[in-house]
Amino acid sequence: MTKTAFITGVTGQDGAYLARLLLQKGYEVHGGVRRISQPDMARLDALGITDQVHFHDFDLSDSNNIFRTIRDVPMDEFYNLAAQSFVGASWDLPVYTAEIDGMAVVRILDALRSLRPECRFYQASTSEMFGEVRAVPQLESTPFYPRSPYGVSKVFAHYMTVNYRESFGMHASSGILFNHESPLRGKEFVTRKISMGLAALAHGANAPVELGNMAAKRDWGFAGDYVEGMWRMLQRENAGDFVLATGTSTTIRDFFTYVGEALDMEVIWEGEGPQEAAYDRLSGRRLMQVNPKFYRPAEVDLLLGDPSKACNELGWKAKTDVRSLAMMMAKADYDAQARQLR
């Protein structure tokens, strides 16, 4: 029998890749879309699947809408990927972030409990819950110490997911995913900012890429690999919590260098902190300068995940290393900009 999935945040990076994966597996895919003046289907269009997804008006800020959607849309699996997902914005939008990334998750869980107790649930948890470095590498049992309103809201949603599983026997899983990127990544996130900015410089633009803290380290994987892990969590007999990560951590600085190399630049570094700058040895051009406005009020310095549990219990492993990811994103942005310039 055809399985049916509902994806919140279907227009986002992960939503698009997950929708494609589930369609390939023969699912009927339903997606929640916010009512905005011009709905943006660019990611689903890029994957060529827009006309295969059933769309529904859906907004996490409207509890009645959440209830009616769960009552009316057929669903065997519910993937909650929608969020105010930009950590940097969460200090400016703390209450909104808490509502959307925290409270709305209880509303979903409670509606599922009442209306569809058999429906399997996936919550998009995050390595940002680890926050301040307490242990390296980080795994399912590492204590949380979130460092942003985003991280705090996600910890609340994570424990609500655990609580509904333990209290009501719901099949509710939480994927603690480390950073995952792709050519479909939002333009404000650091990897995409770098790949777009360096691609523009490779095409002859002059403006160096403006960035913040270059020393932070992240465990970066490819989003296309990670959605497979989400799906596997819901196929298990028992729900649980799983870290998905590559097991390798890289500074922003090194990611920048990898993207530069993919675009035939030889990146050299000078200065430190706010004075730090990058140049291309071959052309002598300045590639990067620090703009302190991109520093965060509190930083997460080092994320490095241990995905052993996912590997052993889900048979999941990240297939794309950070250099391949940097190359994939550099090439995609370079080619896209070349098409625009034609």
Among 8, 69, 85, 173, contact with ligand GDR (rule: CB under 6 A):
85
**177 scored as a contact of ligand NDP (CB under 6 A):** yes
The residue among 218, 180, 244 whose CA lies nearest residue 299 is 218
**Minimum distance, C-beta of residue 234 to ligand NDP, in the bound complex (Å):** 15
* Residues in 127-146 at the binding interface with ligand GDR, rule: CB under 6 A: 127-128
Structure tokens at 161: 């997911």
Structure tokens at 151: 């991280």
**96 scored as a contact of ligand GDR (CB under 6 A):** no
Among 5, 19, 75, 81, contact with ligand NDP (rule: CB under 6 A):
81
Tell me whether residue 147 or residue 309 sits nearer to ligand GDR (CB atom): 147
* Residues in 288-307 at the binding interface with ligand GDR, rule: CB under 6 A: 294, 296, 299
**249 scored as a contact of ligand NDP (CB under 6 A):** no
Among 57, 72, 92, 188, contact with ligand GDR (rule: CB under 6 A):
188
Per annotation, catalytic residue among 8, 11, 126, 191: 126
Per annotation, catalytic residue among 77, 128, 181, 228: 128
**Minimum distance, C-beta of residue 298 to ligand GDR, in the bound complex (Å):** 10
**Near ligand NDP by CB under 6 A, which window of 54-62, 70-78, 227-235, 257-265?**
54-62
**227 scored as a contact of ligand GDR (CB under 6 A):** no
Q: Which does 36 bind (CB under 5 to 8 A by kind): ligand GDR, ligand NDP, none?
A: ligand NDP
Q: CA-CA distance, 104 to 124, in Å (whole number)?
A: 13
**233 scored as a contact of ligand NDP (CB under 6 A):** no
**223 scored as a contact of ligand GDR (CB under 6 A):** no
Tell me whether residue 223 or residue 267 sits nearer to ligand NDP (CB atom): 223
Whether the Cβ atoms of residue 128 and residue 87 lie closer than 8 Å to each other: yes
128 in catalytic set: yes
Whether the Cβ atoms of residue 278 and residue 342 lie closer than 8 Å to each other: no
Whether the Cβ atoms of residue 162 and residue 299 lie closer than 8 Å to each other: no
Q: CA-CA distance, 234 to 217, in Å (whole number)?
A: 30
Among 5, 11, 119, 278, contact with ligand NDP (rule: CB under 6 A):
11
**70 scored as a contact of ligand NDP (CB under 6 A):** no
Q: Among all chains, which residue has been given the structure tokens 């699996």? A: 77
Residues that bind ligand GDR (CB under 6 A): 85, 87-88, 126-128, 178-179, 188-190, 193, 211-213, 216, 218, 252, 294, 296, 299
List residues with catalytic annotation. 126, 128, 150
